[in-house]
């Protein structure tokens, strides 16, 4: 199917489901900034308490657990940066971007505005040669599925060894290529943020703690979590309609904590209606399940791992994969 036909079918399906649930979507699209603030606060409390307890206990196991927990919350902050990119944290853009940058994006060394410009094309041209995420990945063998269990394990193993950090660095640099020219005020704001952070590290002599509790999870575990989530969102699918170009997963809570914070697992639903904030995606999903096209064709899994019979691994591993082919 050529790209223009593919896009036309997607747009038609999206319009159909938007018309069917216009009232529900309007209600669920109303922002409740307090919910976003609570999510940000939760993530930072987990980060600070984990680092504090590990330092107090001063035992290897405590450090390992803290690093795992902090990586999960770094992942969560990236998901909230995604919310900020969609202007879903606050209705006023200045407040939305300031909160997103200060508490979510800047700590991860990205800018909400840069990510927004990049991410806009992903939504407009999903899984086509004009989608920057798709183009960046699809030609590489490690992003082609199904894979053998051995190859998949090797590809994930590279991330634990630091390959993912290199990939993250190139991704951050690539964001600048699609960004609009920076305004002087925004450059000054970012510079002031990082200068202040560096001054605090120097004044309180926190470079060891910063390395252990921030840079190590950022370099070795966050890229792994991001990769699993990215695979789950758009890979190992039939790619024949908007209902099979993204995946929704309803995972156990422990999996959700690491791989799908803040309801990012409802990714198909997000692509159908990007204006709904994360805290309303479960309700949106329930509405969509009453729609025949969605119920019959949506690609939904119940786990990321083998804890569920219909897991992500079932879709992406050779010998297990059965893709949904519709339309």
Query: Does the residue 169 lie in any domain?
Result: yes
Query: Does the residue 325 lie in any domain?
Result: no
List of residues 6+ apart from 60 with CB closer than 8 A: none
Query: Does the residue 327 lie in any domain?
Result: no
Higher pLDDT, 181 or 267: 267
pLDDT recorded at residue 9: 62
pLDDT recorded at residue 175: 81
Alpha-carbon gap, residue 60 to 63, rounded angstroms: 5
pLDDT recorded at residue 16: 83
Query: Does the residue 324 lie in any domain?
Result: no
Q: Give the pLDDT mean for 226-242.
A: 90
Q: Give the pLDDT mean for 43-56.
A: 99
Contact, 268 vs 248, CB < 8 A?
Answer: yes
User: pLDDT over 90 for what percent of the chain?
Assistant: 77
Range of the domain at 58: 3-316
| Average pLDDT along the chain | 91
pLDDT band at 62 (very low <50, low <70, confident <90, very high): very high
Among the ranges given (93-107, 109-123, 146-160, 304-318), the one the predictor scored with the smallest mean pLDDT: 304-318
Phi, psi angles (nearest 5°) of residue 301: -115, 165
Q: Give the pLDDT mean for 204-233.
A: 97
Query: Does the residue 323 lie in any domain?
Result: no
Query: Does the residue 322 lie in any domain?
Result: no
Asked if the model's pLDDT at residue 242 lies above 90, the reply is no
β-bridge pairing 300-301 and 248-249 = parallel
pLDDT tens digits for range 131-145? 999 999 999 999 999
Looking at the structure of the chain, the number of domains it has is: 1
Provide the sign of the torsion angle of the four alpha carbons 9, 15, 20, 21, taken in this order: positive
Query: Does the residue 326 lie in any domain?
Result: no
Query: Does the residue 93 lie in any domain?
Result: yes
Q: Give the pLDDT mean for 143-157.
A: 94
pTM: 0.92
């Amino acid at each position: 199917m050529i790209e223009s036909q593919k896009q036309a079918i997607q747009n038609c399906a999206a319009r159909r489901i938007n018309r069917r649930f216009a009232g529900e979507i309007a209600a669920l699209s109303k922002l409740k900034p307090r919910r976003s603030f609570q999510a940000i606060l939760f993530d930072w409390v987990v980060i600070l308490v984990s680092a504090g307890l590990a330092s107090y206990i001063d035992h290897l196991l405590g450090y390992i657990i803290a690093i795992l927990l902090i990586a999960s919350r770094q992942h969560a902050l990236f998901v909230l940066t995604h919310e900020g990119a969609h202007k879903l944290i606050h209705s006023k853009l200045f407040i939305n971007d300031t909160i997103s940058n200060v508490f979510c994006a800047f700590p991860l060394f990205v800018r909400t505005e840069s990510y927004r410009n990049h991410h806009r094309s992903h939504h407009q041209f999903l899984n086509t040669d004009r989608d920057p995420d798709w183009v960046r990945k699809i030609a590489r063998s490690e992003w082609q599925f199904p894979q053998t269990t051995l190859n998949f394990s090797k590809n994930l193993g590279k991330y634990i060894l630091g390959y993912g950090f290199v990939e993250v660095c190139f991704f951050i640099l690539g964001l600048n290529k699609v960004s609009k020219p920076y305004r002087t005020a925004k450059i000054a704001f970012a510079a002031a943020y990082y200068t202040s952070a560096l001054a605090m590290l120097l004044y309180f002599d926190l470079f060891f703690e910063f390395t252990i509790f921030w840079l190590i999870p950022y370099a070795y575990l966050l890229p792994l979590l991001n990769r699993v989530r990215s695979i789950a969102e758009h890979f190992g699918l039939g790619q024949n309609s908007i209902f099979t170009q993204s995946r929704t997963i309803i995972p156990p809570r422990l999996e959700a904590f690491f791989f799908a914070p803040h309801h990012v697992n409802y990714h198909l639903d997000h692509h159908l209606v990007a204006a709904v904030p994360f805290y309303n995606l479960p309700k949106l999903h329930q509405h969509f399940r009453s729609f025949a096209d969605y119920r019959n064709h949506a690609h939904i899994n119940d786990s990321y791992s083998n804890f569920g019979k219909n897991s992500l691994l079932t879709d992406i591993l050779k010998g297990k994969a059965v893709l949904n082919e519709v339309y």
